[in-house]
Chains A and B, each alone.
Chain A
Amino acid sequence: MSQRKVLQGNIIIAKAALAAGCDFFAGYPITPSSEIAQYMSKEMPKMEKAFIQMEDEIASLGACIGASLAGKKALTATSGPGFSLMQEHLGFAVMAEVPVVIVNVMRGGPSTGMPTKPSQADMMQTRWGTHGDHPIIAVYPAFSDEIFSETVRAFNLAEKYWNPVIILLDEVLAKAHMDVEIPEPGSYEVYWEKTHEISDLNIYDRNIGENPPRIDFFHSYPIHIDSLEHDAHGWPSFDAKTVDKMQKLRMEKIFYNLDDIIKYKEYFLDDAEVLVFSFGISARSALAAVKMAREQGIKAGLFQALTVWPFPRAALQERFKKTKKVLTVELNMGQMKYEIERIAPPDVKKQTLLRANGLPFSPGEVLETIKEFVK
């Protein structure tokens, strides 16, 4: 039977990763994510799983990708400065279609910034940080049980779509100790596809929209994996038609499967006059605020994105048919608000509550903004 325990947010991630089958961790310490590596260094050897502290973040993600191609489920964890350093290898994982999970416990930025303060200012970097066109999946849990379930889901999505998946976490939650329900093994899905049989080494051969099959090294047909643009065999090719297809294969595996990938939660939205759009720690402020608003007779509701990339466009647009006010609450100077501006119809009024000074919003602040907005 499952049981509510007290765990630090970082430790929930680590435990969930192990529960999802993670059997490789390479990382480099950085506040406020270091506890993940520390926990792994203690627990993984017990399970004969591999832990290594690398010389930097570039090396960490490189090692994870290598291990993944050798059949492991690999995890690394970092924060802003390290995540910036990982961008080149993030692109590699996209290009070669390698499942790997990266935790970014966001802290105040830019640069060294405020290592001990929360922020939600890496939202756009998560989507666009590496060069070239690339698909990205990013999940962003806010409540303790979600930290567990979204971490498991991140591994499943990485395996299914053969793509890097980023888990965003707030500094506040990474460091907090909180009650959490650790579900029984077997009560949640752990996705693992057997390595695919291939003919003619055509490892990337599939139709647009199809999930890539798991193909990795050491399965009796020696394969080639390349960071250069490549053909169905993985061999370098700049042939325009081939490239066209490969680019689409990579992008569309995500966009053909939005229903599977996108997850969100809706609170009090059915009759809402104002939709609060938020995620992570800000969604927790917003939820408290929405409840307070309801008590005061204000019809507010919350749309909490759990998948932040790809953006939950369709679900929001459905809501915008009825709800004509949207308030974006985020701990940055305006990032996901651009997505709302982009997808919300013009008859929907847009308001934001933004801040980037290291303090999360209090529910009262969100409530005030809602009240101003509904006036």
Chain B
Amino acid sequence: MEKEELKANQDALERRAKKKPSAKNNKLTMVPLYCKGCGLCVHICPTGTLQLYDDPKNKFGASVKIDAPDFCIGCKMCELQCPDFALFVNYEEEKKEGGQ
């Protein structure tokens, strides 16, 4: 990870530190095959739920991980911002409900 990504992680942790775990049990789904480790989701997540990590299996060197799922408030900012369709919020659940 480069310094910008490290900073994004750090910032996320700081944001997380200011929050409490969410009441709702939001479910985050990752598609590791598509994740390019860009960090945009980490950067945007208001609750600091996500973290980047060095991932030798990712050809770009890093992937995202759902570091603190219980902090997720289900705002879907991360899903919206992910350029690679690698992150979904409450995907299965909403499917059952018949789509958004």
Whether the complex brings A and B within 8 Å at their CB atoms is answered no
Q: B residues within 8 Å of A by Cβ?
A: none
Name A residues whose Cβ lies closer than 8 Å to a Cβ of B. Answer: none
